[in-house]
Amino acid sequence: MIETSHWLRSVAASKFALPALALAASLTLPAFADAKTIQAVMHSDLRVTDPGLTTAYITRDHGYMVYDTLLAMDSNFKVQPQMAEWKVSDDKLTYTFTLRDGLKWHDGKPVTAEDCVASLKRWGQKDGMGQKLMDFTASLEATDAKTITLKLKEPYGLVLESIGKPSSLVPFMMPKRLAETSPDKAIPEQIGSGPFKFVAAEFQPGVKAVYVKNTDYVPRKEAPSWTSGGKVVKVDRVEWITMPDAQTAVNALQSGDIDFIEAPSFDMLPVLKADKELTIQTLSPLGFQTLGRMNFLYPPFDNLKVRRAAFLALSQKPVLDALVGNPDYYIVCGAVFGCGTPLASDVGSESLVKGNGMAEAKKLLAESGYDGTPIALMAPGDVVSLKAQPIVAAQLLREAGFKVDVQATDWQTVVTRRASQKPPAEGGWNMFFTNWAGPDILNPIANVSTGGRGKNGGWFGWPEDAKIEELRDKFARSTSPEEQKKLAAEIQKEVYDKVIYIPLGQYKSPSVWRKDLTGVLTGPATPVFWNIDKKE
């Protein structure tokens, strides 16, 4: 097995790989030759399997395979029942959730309200929307085996939207014994109640992850819509195959040895579009915001003037040109909460969208007392959508006068390392880049990058900003769209003034699959593998 793993990594990493047929043959176990199997190349290798531990989308995608949610969002942005129905008291202070019949964990035990309460409490310690919901919560209890009762201290307008949020960190339900694991420690096994079961015995980080149909899963009767509705599994197995080299993956897809690529390289889209055996479609209509995040705990970015200098040095178009290239798939956008959304604003974004801040960046850096401390900038080379940002940013920062230490790594190492609060010289970091899906940035509560909770409960980078937390609380209490828009603009101004994070534009990422796959769903958290069938 060790030799096989080493060989597979070598093949996947080479542009001159062996024929894709040989690769696919090595990945398919003879015992499953008759199983209806989808082989997919995802945007990233899976290494962190606890969906409550990281906001990484590959871990979220794994979560949707294995786990289920109490509520879910449909394509009209409306929250729908999933594992549970709900009622709200007249005074808006009590929410009662009732579990539907037929819910079982993968180990055969019934799903109980106690399990779900423990799951919500664990999620509420880590997720930004969950934390805010818990701030307003007076009590959260299992009042019987199927009933969850949430009581609020005061009315809060985002209860259902929080529990039904479709993307990172998703409030996935798990057995109480797992949910009682510290939110900073990985759960010891993957037991959910979702439509697929994780095959731990076949999991090879860096090679593949395997899921099989959960034959005990009882789908809802409604048609699937985004993350809501009936999750009907129509295949026996789904295998996520790791192929870091984009050309190798394309070759395997065109020859029929894999079925699906989540995020093909943009420069290969013309070739893929010419292949009549393939379908190309953008599955996430809201697209992505790409962004940079600094570490506030250590020099040089513990200094506001240094952060502002870096902010002014960066601009969106060079990043988007390198990341995407084709302007049909990207927009320069200074709105923290996304362009084309109800809370869109251009407050504070001029240098980002016009690229005219370099002269001021140089001046401010010179005034800041920056001592030449190298910026430890993590640069993952194995994810198409994350390769360009660190390289372009490093060039711009150097032009402004920064010393930059570009540290080549893979994305899963970034996912693990960015959680470290150690100094950069001891395995920590100064800056990394990532992407948020549209639903994760739509408002100040969903967008955890805008938070100011600091070291205790904040998102990686850990800015501490009492003003921004006060504004987020006001937003959470507000029921007026006009007031919410005003508060969102104030929050955006504070984000840019203090450089809480740096939005670097929006883009859409098409997926591609062979036409013998049908029923591929769109959604805010994609791809999902229920509803997909494969011609035999």
Lowest mean pLDDT among 16-30, 229-243, 295-309, 448-462: 16-30
Mark 307-321 as b/e (b = at least 16 C-beta within 10 Å): bbbbbbbbbbbbbbe
Max distance between CA atoms of the chain, in angstroms, equals: 68
Residues of the chain with CATH 3.90.76.10: 68-179
CA R_g for the chain: 23
Give dist(CA 437, CA 418) in Å, integer.
Answer: 19
Least confident of 8-22, 76-90, 481-495: 8-22
Cite the residue boundaries of each domain of the chain with CATH code 3.40.190.10: 2-66+190-284+510-534
Whole-angstrom distance, CA of residue 96 vs CA of residue 163? 13
pLDDT tier at 33 (50, 70, 90 boundaries)? low
The burial class, CB within 10 Å (0-12 / 13-18 / 19+), for 30 is exposed
26: pLDDT strictly greater than 50: no
Model confidence at 21: pLDDT above 50: no
Q: Residue 32's pLDDT is what?
A: 62
pLDDT at 142 over 70: yes
Gap between the Cα atoms of 87 and 234, Å rounded: 33
DSSP state of 30: G
pLDDT digits (tens, 9 = 90+) for 405-421: 999 999 989 999 999 99
5 pLDDT band, cuts 50/70/90, is very low
Superfamily of domain 68-179, CATH level 4: Dipeptide-binding Protein; Domain 1 (3.90.76.10)
Average pLDDT over residues 59-63: 97
pLDDT digits (tens, 9 = 90+) for 250-276: 999 999 999 999 999 998 999 999 999
pLDDT surpassing 60 at residue 288:
yes
The per-residue pLDDT for range 317-342, each reduced to its tens digit, is: 999 999 999 999 999 999 999 998 88
- 533 vs 31, higher pLDDT: 533
Helix ranges, 154-263 (H): 159-163, 176-179, 246-254
> What is the predicted pLDDT for the residue at 157?
86
Residue 19 has pLDDT above 80, yes or no: no
DSSP string for residues in 506-521: EE---EEEETTEE-PP
Share of the chain above pLDDT 90, in %: 85
User: Strand pairing of 404-409 and 375-380?
Assistant: parallel
Which pLDDT does position 20 carry in this prediction?
A: 38
156-189: b (≥16 Cβ within 10 Å) or e: bbbbbbbbbbbbbbbbbbbbbebbebebeeebee
pLDDT value at residue 350:
97
Please check whether the domain covering 288-507 is classified as CATH 3.10.105.10: yes
**Where in the chain is CATH 3.10.105.10?**
288-507
pTM: 0.82
Q: CA-CA distance, 329 to 266, in Å (whole number)?
A: 9
107 pLDDT above the threshold of 60 = yes
Whole-number mean pLDDT of the chain? Answer: 92
Q: What fold characterizes domain 2-66+190-284+510-534?
A: D-Maltodextrin-Binding Protein; domain 2 (3.40.190)
